[in-house]
Amino acid sequence: MKLKNIDILSERIKEAVLNNEQIILFGDSDMDGVSATVVAKEAISNFAFLSKKELKISAYFPDRKNEGYGLNDVVSAYIIEKYPQGGLLITLDCGITNFTQIKRVRAAGFYVMVLDHHQPVKEGLPEADIIVDPKQEDDDYPFKDFSNAGLSFKLAEELLQEKISPLFKENLLELVALATIADMMPERDENIDYIYQGLKNIENSQRPILKAFFTIYNPNEFNSKRDLVHRINSCFNFGAMDDNHVCLLYHILSETDFELAKEEAKELIEENQRRVLEINVLTDEIKLLIETKLGNSIIFEGSPNWGIEYLGAIASRLSVYYDKPVFIYQKYDDFSRGTVRLPKKYDAVKAMESCSNLLITFGGHPPAAGFTVANNNLERFRLALISYFNKENGK
Ligand SMILES: [Mn+2]
Protein backbone atom coordinates (compact mmCIF):
# COMPACT_ATOMS: atom_id res chain seq x y z
CA MET A 1 0.00 0.00 0.00
CA LYS A 2 1.36 3.38 -1.01
CA LEU A 3 0.30 6.98 -0.65
CA LYS A 4 -1.71 8.01 -3.67
CA ASN A 5 0.52 9.42 -6.45
CA ILE A 6 3.79 9.05 -4.49
CA ASP A 7 5.10 6.67 -7.20
CA ILE A 8 4.32 9.02 -10.09
CA LEU A 9 5.74 11.95 -8.11
CA SER A 10 8.96 10.01 -7.66
CA GLU A 11 9.05 8.92 -11.33
CA ARG A 12 8.61 12.51 -12.51
CA ILE A 13 11.44 13.68 -10.25
CA LYS A 14 13.73 10.91 -11.55
CA GLU A 15 12.92 11.96 -15.10
CA ALA A 16 13.74 15.58 -14.23
CA VAL A 17 17.09 14.58 -12.71
CA LEU A 18 18.02 12.40 -15.67
CA ASN A 19 17.07 15.19 -18.12
CA ASN A 20 18.91 17.81 -16.08
CA GLU A 21 15.74 19.90 -15.59
CA GLN A 22 15.67 22.71 -13.06
CA ILE A 23 14.02 21.51 -9.83
CA ILE A 24 12.60 24.10 -7.47
CA LEU A 25 11.50 23.18 -3.97
CA PHE A 26 9.09 25.50 -2.27
CA GLY A 27 8.66 24.76 1.43
CA ASP A 28 6.86 26.42 4.27
CA SER A 29 9.21 28.28 6.59
CA ASP A 30 8.46 26.50 9.88
CA MET A 31 10.38 23.53 11.27
CA ASP A 32 8.22 20.97 9.47
CA GLY A 33 8.27 22.79 6.13
CA VAL A 34 12.02 23.38 6.19
CA SER A 35 12.75 19.81 7.34
CA ALA A 36 10.48 18.48 4.60
CA THR A 37 12.44 20.57 2.08
CA VAL A 38 15.84 19.45 3.40
CA VAL A 39 14.79 15.77 3.40
CA ALA A 40 13.47 16.05 -0.17
CA LYS A 41 16.56 17.92 -1.35
CA GLU A 42 18.96 15.42 0.20
CA ALA A 43 17.00 12.45 -1.16
CA ILE A 44 16.92 13.91 -4.68
CA SER A 45 20.64 14.79 -4.43
CA ASN A 46 21.39 11.25 -3.35
CA PHE A 47 19.44 9.89 -6.32
CA ALA A 48 21.32 12.23 -8.68
CA PHE A 49 24.65 11.19 -7.16
CA LEU A 50 23.84 7.48 -7.58
CA SER A 51 22.77 8.19 -11.16
CA LYS A 52 25.99 10.17 -11.78
CA LYS A 53 23.99 13.23 -12.79
CA GLU A 54 24.59 16.90 -12.11
CA LEU A 55 21.66 18.35 -10.20
CA LYS A 56 19.99 21.71 -10.71
CA ILE A 57 18.00 22.23 -7.54
CA SER A 58 17.09 25.26 -5.46
CA ALA A 59 14.77 25.97 -2.55
CA TYR A 60 12.57 28.93 -1.60
CA PHE A 61 10.28 29.76 1.27
CA PRO A 62 7.62 32.35 2.04
CA ASP A 63 8.43 35.21 4.36
CA ARG A 64 5.53 34.44 6.69
CA LYS A 65 5.89 37.69 8.55
CA ASN A 66 5.68 39.99 5.52
CA GLU A 67 4.02 37.90 2.82
CA GLY A 68 1.90 35.30 4.51
CA TYR A 69 1.83 31.54 4.44
CA GLY A 70 2.35 29.24 1.47
CA LEU A 71 3.02 29.86 -2.21
CA ASN A 72 1.87 33.47 -1.97
CA ASP A 73 1.76 36.09 -4.76
CA VAL A 74 5.15 37.64 -3.91
CA VAL A 75 7.14 34.40 -4.04
CA SER A 76 5.33 32.94 -7.01
CA ALA A 77 6.10 36.13 -8.99
CA TYR A 78 9.73 35.92 -7.81
CA ILE A 79 10.07 32.31 -9.00
CA ILE A 80 8.43 33.04 -12.36
CA GLU A 81 10.84 35.92 -12.94
CA LYS A 82 13.90 34.00 -11.79
CA TYR A 83 13.20 30.96 -13.98
CA PRO A 84 11.83 32.26 -17.31
CA GLN A 85 12.47 28.77 -18.72
CA GLY A 86 10.15 27.22 -16.14
CA GLY A 87 11.02 24.04 -14.31
CA LEU A 88 9.70 21.44 -11.94
CA LEU A 89 8.18 23.10 -8.88
CA ILE A 90 7.41 21.03 -5.78
CA THR A 91 5.51 22.63 -2.91
CA LEU A 92 6.10 21.12 0.51
CA ASP A 93 4.00 21.70 3.64
CA CYS A 94 1.88 24.12 1.60
CA GLY A 95 0.26 24.32 -1.81
CA ILE A 96 -2.96 22.37 -1.30
CA THR A 97 -4.93 25.64 -0.97
CA ASN A 98 -2.85 27.86 -3.32
CA PHE A 99 -5.34 27.74 -6.19
CA THR A 100 -4.57 30.99 -8.01
CA GLN A 101 -0.81 30.91 -7.56
CA ILE A 102 -0.52 27.34 -8.83
CA LYS A 103 -2.58 28.25 -11.87
CA ARG A 104 -0.28 31.21 -12.48
CA VAL A 105 3.02 29.30 -12.21
CA ARG A 106 1.69 26.52 -14.41
CA ALA A 107 0.64 29.08 -17.02
CA ALA A 108 4.22 30.43 -16.83
CA GLY A 109 5.54 27.03 -17.91
CA PHE A 110 6.21 25.21 -14.64
CA TYR A 111 5.30 21.62 -13.95
CA VAL A 112 3.77 21.84 -10.48
CA MET A 113 3.67 19.07 -7.90
CA VAL A 114 2.16 19.41 -4.45
CA LEU A 115 3.49 17.35 -1.55
CA ASP A 116 1.38 18.57 1.35
CA HIS A 117 -0.09 17.09 4.51
CA HIS A 118 -2.72 19.77 5.06
CA GLN A 119 -6.43 19.18 4.83
CA PRO A 120 -7.77 20.17 1.39
CA VAL A 121 -10.58 22.72 1.62
CA LYS A 122 -14.14 21.98 0.54
CA GLU A 123 -13.62 23.99 -2.68
CA GLY A 124 -11.46 21.07 -3.85
CA LEU A 125 -7.89 20.67 -5.03
CA PRO A 126 -5.64 23.10 -6.90
CA GLU A 127 -4.92 22.45 -10.59
CA ALA A 128 -1.46 21.00 -10.02
CA ASP A 129 0.08 18.31 -12.24
CA ILE A 130 0.55 15.83 -9.40
CA ILE A 131 -0.82 16.00 -5.86
CA VAL A 132 0.33 13.87 -2.95
CA ASP A 133 -1.71 14.57 0.15
CA PRO A 134 -2.88 11.72 2.38
CA LYS A 135 -5.91 13.84 3.23
CA GLN A 136 -7.20 14.08 -0.33
CA GLU A 137 -10.49 12.24 -0.58
CA ASP A 138 -9.49 9.26 -2.72
CA ASP A 139 -6.21 8.44 -0.97
CA ASP A 140 -6.82 5.06 0.65
CA TYR A 141 -3.56 4.92 2.57
CA PRO A 142 -4.68 3.99 6.09
CA PHE A 143 -2.51 6.46 8.02
CA LYS A 144 -3.15 10.15 7.37
CA ASP A 145 -1.32 12.10 10.03
CA PHE A 146 2.24 12.31 8.75
CA SER A 147 4.26 15.46 9.24
CA ASN A 148 5.28 16.92 5.90
CA ALA A 149 8.84 15.82 6.63
CA GLY A 150 7.35 12.31 7.01
CA LEU A 151 5.88 12.65 3.51
CA SER A 152 9.28 13.72 2.17
CA PHE A 153 10.73 10.61 3.79
CA LYS A 154 8.15 8.50 1.93
CA LEU A 155 9.36 10.21 -1.23
CA ALA A 156 12.98 9.41 -0.29
CA GLU A 157 12.12 5.71 0.12
CA GLU A 158 10.29 5.71 -3.20
CA LEU A 159 13.16 7.47 -5.02
CA LEU A 160 15.98 5.38 -3.59
CA GLN A 161 14.27 2.04 -2.90
CA GLU A 162 16.84 -0.50 -1.63
CA LYS A 163 19.67 1.97 -2.33
CA ILE A 164 18.74 4.00 0.75
CA SER A 165 21.58 3.27 3.18
CA PRO A 166 20.81 2.71 6.89
CA LEU A 167 22.93 5.69 7.92
CA PHE A 168 21.29 8.03 5.40
CA LYS A 169 17.88 6.80 6.46
CA GLU A 170 18.64 7.50 10.10
CA ASN A 171 19.98 10.93 9.17
CA LEU A 172 16.72 11.83 7.43
CA LEU A 173 14.58 10.32 10.17
CA GLU A 174 16.20 12.58 12.77
CA LEU A 175 14.71 15.56 10.97
CA VAL A 176 11.42 13.73 10.48
CA ALA A 177 11.24 13.02 14.22
CA LEU A 178 11.94 16.66 15.14
CA ALA A 179 9.40 17.90 12.59
CA THR A 180 6.71 15.43 13.69
CA ILE A 181 7.11 16.67 17.26
CA ALA A 182 7.32 20.34 16.25
CA ASP A 183 4.16 20.09 14.13
CA MET A 184 2.36 18.29 16.99
CA MET A 185 1.33 15.40 14.77
CA PRO A 186 -0.34 12.55 16.66
CA GLU A 187 2.09 9.94 17.89
CA ARG A 188 0.42 6.95 16.34
CA ASP A 189 1.24 4.32 13.73
CA GLU A 190 4.19 5.23 11.51
CA ASN A 191 4.86 8.44 13.44
CA ILE A 192 5.79 6.36 16.51
CA ASP A 193 8.30 4.46 14.44
CA TYR A 194 9.77 7.61 12.85
CA ILE A 195 10.17 9.31 16.20
CA TYR A 196 11.69 6.23 17.80
CA GLN A 197 14.19 5.68 14.99
CA GLY A 198 14.95 9.38 14.61
CA LEU A 199 15.68 10.03 18.28
CA LYS A 200 17.41 6.72 19.03
CA ASN A 201 20.89 7.97 18.33
CA ILE A 202 20.30 11.66 17.65
CA GLU A 203 22.98 12.74 20.16
CA ASN A 204 25.54 11.28 17.76
CA SER A 205 23.92 12.76 14.69
CA GLN A 206 25.90 13.08 11.47
CA ARG A 207 24.12 16.39 10.91
CA PRO A 208 26.49 19.06 12.27
CA ILE A 209 23.82 21.38 13.70
CA LEU A 210 22.14 18.55 15.65
CA LYS A 211 25.46 17.24 16.89
CA ALA A 212 26.30 20.83 17.91
CA PHE A 213 23.20 21.20 20.08
CA PHE A 214 23.95 17.93 21.84
CA THR A 215 27.53 19.11 22.42
CA ILE A 216 26.49 22.49 23.88
CA TYR A 217 23.51 21.39 25.98
CA ASN A 218 24.17 19.19 28.97
CA PRO A 219 21.65 16.34 28.83
CA ASN A 220 21.76 16.09 32.65
CA GLU A 221 20.05 19.46 32.84
CA PHE A 222 16.97 18.06 31.10
CA ASN A 223 14.43 15.61 32.47
CA SER A 224 14.55 13.54 29.32
CA LYS A 225 15.91 13.41 25.82
CA ARG A 226 12.44 14.46 24.71
CA ASP A 227 12.68 17.67 26.77
CA LEU A 228 16.00 18.49 25.15
CA VAL A 229 14.48 17.83 21.74
CA HIS A 230 11.66 20.27 22.54
CA ARG A 231 14.25 22.88 23.46
CA ILE A 232 16.13 22.35 20.20
CA ASN A 233 12.87 22.67 18.28
CA SER A 234 12.10 25.92 20.04
CA CYS A 235 15.56 27.22 19.03
CA PHE A 236 14.73 26.30 15.42
CA ASN A 237 11.44 28.17 15.58
CA PHE A 238 12.68 31.62 14.51
CA GLY A 239 11.50 32.09 10.94
CA ALA A 240 14.19 34.51 9.69
CA MET A 241 14.87 34.77 5.94
CA ASP A 242 17.83 35.81 3.80
CA ASP A 243 17.35 38.31 0.96
CA ASN A 244 16.67 35.60 -1.64
CA HIS A 245 13.55 33.99 -0.19
CA VAL A 246 15.52 31.29 1.58
CA CYS A 247 14.95 30.49 5.25
CA LEU A 248 18.01 30.77 7.45
CA LEU A 249 16.87 27.52 9.03
CA TYR A 250 17.32 25.80 5.66
CA HIS A 251 20.96 26.94 5.55
CA ILE A 252 21.48 25.92 9.16
CA LEU A 253 20.02 22.42 8.83
CA SER A 254 22.15 21.95 5.70
CA GLU A 255 25.36 23.25 7.33
CA THR A 256 28.20 20.80 6.71
CA ASP A 257 30.94 22.34 8.89
CA PHE A 258 30.78 21.34 12.55
CA GLU A 259 32.64 24.39 13.91
CA LEU A 260 30.33 26.77 12.04
CA ALA A 261 27.35 24.75 13.19
CA LYS A 262 28.49 25.18 16.79
CA GLU A 263 28.61 28.96 16.36
CA GLU A 264 25.16 28.90 14.78
CA ALA A 265 23.74 26.75 17.59
CA LYS A 266 25.09 29.19 20.19
CA GLU A 267 23.42 32.11 18.41
CA LEU A 268 20.15 30.19 18.12
CA ILE A 269 20.21 29.46 21.85
CA GLU A 270 20.72 33.14 22.71
CA GLU A 271 18.05 34.21 20.26
CA ASN A 272 15.67 31.66 21.76
CA GLN A 273 16.22 33.05 25.25
CA ARG A 274 15.27 36.51 23.98
CA ARG A 275 12.18 35.10 22.30
CA VAL A 276 11.05 33.24 25.41
CA LEU A 277 11.24 36.50 27.39
CA GLU A 278 9.19 38.33 24.77
CA ILE A 279 6.59 35.54 24.72
CA ASN A 280 6.28 35.66 28.52
CA VAL A 281 5.73 39.42 28.46
CA LEU A 282 3.13 39.23 25.68
CA THR A 283 1.32 36.29 27.30
CA ASP A 284 0.95 38.25 30.54
CA GLU A 285 -0.27 41.29 28.62
CA ILE A 286 -2.92 39.26 26.80
CA LYS A 287 -4.03 37.47 29.98
CA LEU A 288 -4.60 40.82 31.65
CA LEU A 289 -6.60 42.01 28.66
CA ILE A 290 -8.97 39.03 28.68
CA GLU A 291 -9.49 38.79 32.46
CA THR A 292 -12.70 40.80 32.11
CA LYS A 293 -14.05 38.75 29.19
CA LEU A 294 -13.79 35.23 30.57
CA GLY A 295 -17.52 34.61 30.10
CA ASN A 296 -16.96 34.40 26.32
CA SER A 297 -16.79 30.99 24.65
CA ILE A 298 -13.60 31.96 22.79
CA ILE A 299 -10.58 34.19 23.19
CA PHE A 300 -10.39 36.62 20.29
CA GLU A 301 -7.87 39.46 20.57
CA GLY A 302 -5.44 41.38 18.42
CA SER A 303 -3.05 44.30 18.37
CA PRO A 304 -0.71 46.00 15.90
CA ASN A 305 2.09 45.40 18.42
CA TRP A 306 1.84 41.64 18.77
CA GLY A 307 4.41 40.07 16.46
CA ILE A 308 2.82 37.24 14.47
CA GLU A 309 6.00 35.20 14.99
CA TYR A 310 5.22 34.91 18.71
CA LEU A 311 1.53 34.28 18.47
CA GLY A 312 1.61 30.51 17.83
CA ALA A 313 3.47 29.83 21.07
CA ILE A 314 1.26 32.27 22.99
CA ALA A 315 -1.99 30.88 21.60
CA SER A 316 -0.90 27.33 22.55
CA ARG A 317 -0.32 28.41 26.13
CA LEU A 318 -3.56 30.38 26.41
CA SER A 319 -5.61 27.58 24.92
CA VAL A 320 -4.27 25.10 27.49
CA TYR A 321 -4.56 27.60 30.34
CA TYR A 322 -8.17 28.64 29.65
CA ASP A 323 -9.28 25.44 27.89
CA LYS A 324 -10.88 27.56 25.16
CA PRO A 325 -10.41 28.18 21.43
CA VAL A 326 -7.89 31.00 21.00
CA PHE A 327 -7.78 33.36 18.00
CA ILE A 328 -5.08 36.01 18.34
CA TYR A 329 -3.80 38.24 15.60
CA GLN A 330 -1.48 40.99 14.57
CA LYS A 331 -3.39 43.90 13.12
CA TYR A 332 -1.92 45.65 10.06
CA ASP A 333 -3.38 48.70 8.30
CA ASP A 334 -6.07 46.94 6.26
CA PHE A 335 -6.02 43.34 7.38
CA SER A 336 -5.08 41.16 10.31
CA ARG A 337 -3.10 37.97 10.37
CA GLY A 338 -3.67 35.54 13.16
CA THR A 339 -3.14 32.16 14.63
CA VAL A 340 -5.53 29.65 16.15
CA ARG A 341 -5.05 27.00 18.81
CA LEU A 342 -7.85 25.07 20.40
CA PRO A 343 -8.58 22.26 22.85
CA LYS A 344 -8.67 18.77 21.34
CA LYS A 345 -12.46 18.49 21.15
CA TYR A 346 -12.66 21.28 18.50
CA ASP A 347 -11.56 21.66 14.88
CA ALA A 348 -10.03 24.99 13.78
CA VAL A 349 -10.42 24.26 10.07
CA LYS A 350 -14.12 23.44 10.38
CA ALA A 351 -14.68 26.48 12.57
CA MET A 352 -13.20 28.79 9.94
CA GLU A 353 -14.85 26.95 7.06
CA SER A 354 -18.17 27.80 8.68
CA CYS A 355 -17.44 31.50 8.02
CA SER A 356 -14.87 31.31 5.22
CA ASN A 357 -16.76 34.01 3.28
CA LEU A 358 -15.43 36.51 5.83
CA LEU A 359 -11.79 35.49 5.45
CA ILE A 360 -9.09 36.33 2.91
CA THR A 361 -7.25 33.05 3.58
CA PHE A 362 -7.20 30.37 6.23
CA GLY A 363 -5.73 26.92 6.64
CA GLY A 364 -3.97 24.50 8.89
CA HIS A 365 -4.85 21.51 11.03
CA PRO A 366 -7.73 20.85 13.43
CA PRO A 367 -5.73 21.83 16.56
CA ALA A 368 -3.59 24.60 15.01
CA ALA A 369 -4.32 26.93 12.12
CA GLY A 370 -3.97 30.45 10.79
CA PHE A 371 -6.04 33.09 9.05
CA THR A 372 -5.95 36.43 7.26
CA VAL A 373 -8.98 38.68 7.54
CA ALA A 374 -9.82 42.19 6.34
CA ASN A 375 -10.09 44.51 9.34
CA ASN A 376 -13.62 45.54 8.38
CA ASN A 377 -14.64 41.88 8.77
CA LEU A 378 -12.99 41.32 12.17
CA GLU A 379 -16.11 41.90 14.22
CA ARG A 380 -18.28 39.77 11.91
CA PHE A 381 -15.63 37.02 12.09
CA ARG A 382 -15.61 37.18 15.90
CA LEU A 383 -19.40 36.94 16.10
CA ALA A 384 -19.53 34.07 13.60
CA LEU A 385 -16.95 32.16 15.65
CA ILE A 386 -18.82 32.76 18.89
CA SER A 387 -22.03 31.42 17.37
CA TYR A 388 -20.14 28.43 15.87
CA PHE A 389 -18.57 27.48 19.22
CA ASN A 390 -21.78 28.09 21.14
CA LYS A 391 -23.38 25.55 18.83
CA GLU A 392 -20.43 23.16 19.31
CA ASN A 393 -20.89 23.53 23.07
CA GLY A 394 -24.55 22.69 22.68
CA LYS A 395 -25.77 26.17 23.58
MN1 LIG B 1 3.48 21.00 8.55
CA of 394 to the centre of ligand 1 (A): 31
Of 330, 290, 325, give the one whose Cα is nearest residue 309: 330
Asked if residue 270 is part of any domain, the answer here is: no
Ligand 1 centre distance from Cα of residue 52 (Å): 32
Distance 32 CA to ligand 1 centre (A): 5
Residue 121: predicted pLDDT: 86
- Confirm if 148 and 116 have CB atoms less than 8 A apart: yes
Q: Compute, in angstroms, the gap from residue 117 CA to the centroid of ligand 1.
A: 7
CATH number, residue 340: 3.10.310.30
The DSSP 8-state label assigned to residue 250 in this structure reads: H
Please identify, among 181, 206, 237, the residue that sits at the C-terminal boundary of a domain: 181
In 119-262, which ranges are E strands?
130-132
Please check whether residue 239 lies inside any domain of the structure. no
CATH code of 123's domain: 3.90.1640.30
Is the residue at 167 inside a domain?
yes
Domain boundary among 154, 181, 208: 181
Closest among 132, 134, 67, 133 to 101, alpha carbons compared: 67
pLDDT (0 to 100) of residue 366: 87
Question: What span, in angstroms and rounded, lies between the C-alpha atoms of 268 and 354?
Answer: 40
Distance 183 CA to ligand 1 centre (A): 6
CA of 380 to the centre of ligand 1 (A): 29
Task: Print pLDDT tens along the chain (395 aa).
Answer: 999 999 999 999 999 999 999 999 999 999 999 999 999 999 999 999 999 999 999 999 999 877 878 999 999 999 999 999 999 999 999 999 999 999 999 999 999 999 999 989 888 999 999 999 999 999 999 999 999 999 999 999 999 999 999 999 999 999 999 999 999 899 999 999 999 999 999 999 999 999 999 999 998 899 999 999 999 999 999 889 999 999 999 999 999 999 999 999 999 999 999 999 999 999 999 999 998 888 889 999 999 999 988 999 999 999 999 999 999 999 999 999 999 999 999 999 999 999 999 999 888 888 899 999 999 999 999 999 999 999 999 87
Q: How far is the CA of 355 from the centre of ligand 1 (A)?
A: 23
In a domain, residue 304? The reply is yes
Is the residue at 68 inside a domain?
Answer: yes
Number of domains forming the structure of the chain = 2
Give the residue from 163, 181, 199 where a domain finishes. Answer: 181
Residue 363 confidence (pLDDT): 85
| Structural domain contains residue 243 | no
What is the distance in A from the centroid of ligand 1 to the CA of 149? 8
Ligand 1 centroid from CA 64, angstroms: 14
Contacts of 88 (CB under 8 A, 6+ apart): 12, 13, 16, 21, 22, 23, 24, 110, 111, 113
Distance (angstroms) between ligand 1 centre and the Cα of 36 equals 8
359 within domain boundaries: yes
Environment of ion ligand 1 (residues, CB < 5 A)? 32, 93, 148, 183
Judgement on whether residues 171 and 43 belong to the same structural domain of the protein? yes
pLDDT at residue 292, as a whole number: 86
- CA of 295 from ligand 1 middle (Å) equals 33
Domain that holds residue 84: 6-181
